[in-house]
Amino acid sequence: MAQEKRESSINLYVLDGGVIDIADMDPFSDTGEYRGHPGRLAVSCFLIRHPRGLLVWDAGLGDEIASSPNGAELAPGFIGRVPTPLEAQIGTLGLTFKDIDLFAPSHVHPDHVGNANAFVHSTWVLNRREMEWLDQNPTPAGVNPAQIKVRETATVKLIEDNFDVFGDGTVRILQIPGHTPGHQALSLKLEKAGPIILAGDLFHSRHNLEHRCIPVFNTSRAETLASIDRMQRIVANTGARLVLSHAMEDVEALPKFPAHLD
Ligand SMILES: [Zn+2]
């Protein structure tokens, strides 16, 4: 029994992938709620320590931005800053990028794969639909295949449905397309903290969630609404804690790294 208990224990660390200051949040709703309002998004990524391996979920804005004190203009009106490089953060745990067994992004927007190419030694879990979209010619707006170039040499596990990462039901990738064609969430069963779902960019803020605001840049409004419906039913049925990776209040409510949830 004691052995089984150890086997099931998982730690969830929230890593700081940076912050984005936005001059006008208008694009975050196609129904006009945010027009003229500035905003700030947290950029979080996550380290999951499972008895069978270390998984990094999303990879932040990119450590190279940390060397620019004023940040980097990601797009007109979007300024990204990286206060602490990801490499230094995982170094706090005595780890390097080489120690990470698995890397999986919620989707391939630049604020989720900034450090992806650092995971040369990891197995990459990638969504087939997301890759087919990214590889279109011309490249879709807002994504850059060079940011995940290492997929060409890394070991890649292509998935097209929900996926049980360690095979024991405790860490599962859920398909919630619409923000991008292969957008995904990560569902965790933690021993003490209970069920928790890292919702990726299904919602960018709590206001987004409450009012079902759909960003203009989502690839499908209909798929997003279907994914919101699926997620809200899962949350209702499991009592899972939903974490919006860009919502400052959600990230601040998690234990401050290197503290973690168990
Ligand atoms: Zn994002």
Å from CA of 142 to ligand 1 middle = 11
Q: Is the pLDDT reported for residue 66 higher than 80?
A: yes
Residue 2 binned pLDDT confidence (cut-offs 50, 70, 90) = very low
Amino acid present at 184: Q
> Which of 241, 9, 218, 27 minimizes the C-alpha distance to 133?
218
Q: Domain spans of the chain?
A: 2-252
Asked whether the beta carbons of 261 and 196 are under 8 A apart, the reply is yes
Å from CA of 62 to ligand 1 middle = 13
Å from CA of 60 to ligand 1 middle = 9
Å from CA of 1 to ligand 1 middle = 41
Å from CA of 218 to ligand 1 middle = 11
Q: Is the pLDDT reported for residue 5 higher than 50?
A: no
Å from CA of 94 to ligand 1 middle = 28
Instruction: Check residue 69 and give its pLDDT.
Output: 85
In this predicted model, what pLDDT tens digit does every residue of 213-243 receive, in sequence order? Answer: 999 999 999 999 999 999 999 999 999 999 9
Å from CA of 109 to ligand 1 middle = 6
Å from CA of 46 to ligand 1 middle = 14
Q: Is the pLDDT reported for residue 1 higher than 70?
A: no
- Determine the Cα–Cα distance for residues 111 and 233; give it in Å rounded to an integer: 28
Rama region for 194: left / alpha / beta (φ>0; ψ in -120 to 50; rest) = left
Å from CA of 80 to ligand 1 middle = 12
Q: Is the pLDDT reported for residue 38 higher than 90?
A: yes
Asked whether the beta carbons of 63 and 87 are under 8 A apart, the reply is yes
Average pLDDT over residues 89-99: 97
Instruction: Check residue 9 and give its pLDDT.
Output: 87
The CATH homologous superfamily to which domain 2-252 belongs is Ribonuclease Z/Hydroxyacylglutathione hydrolase-like (3.60.15.10)
- CA distances from residue 53 to 48, 90, 97 in whole angstroms, order as listed: 8, 15, 13
Å from CA of 7 to ligand 1 middle = 32
In this predicted model, what pLDDT tens digit does every residue of 162-199 receive, in sequence order? Answer: 999 999 999 999 999 999 999 999 999 999 999 999 99
Å from CA of 111 to ligand 1 middle = 5
> Which of 257, 243, 51 minimizes the C-alpha distance to 165?
51
Average pLDDT over residues 47-61: 98
Å from CA of 244 to ligand 1 middle = 10
Residue 8 binned pLDDT confidence (cut-offs 50, 70, 90) = low
Å from CA of 107 to ligand 1 middle = 8
Instruction: Check residue 24 and give its pLDDT.
Output: 98
Å from CA of 20 to ligand 1 middle = 10
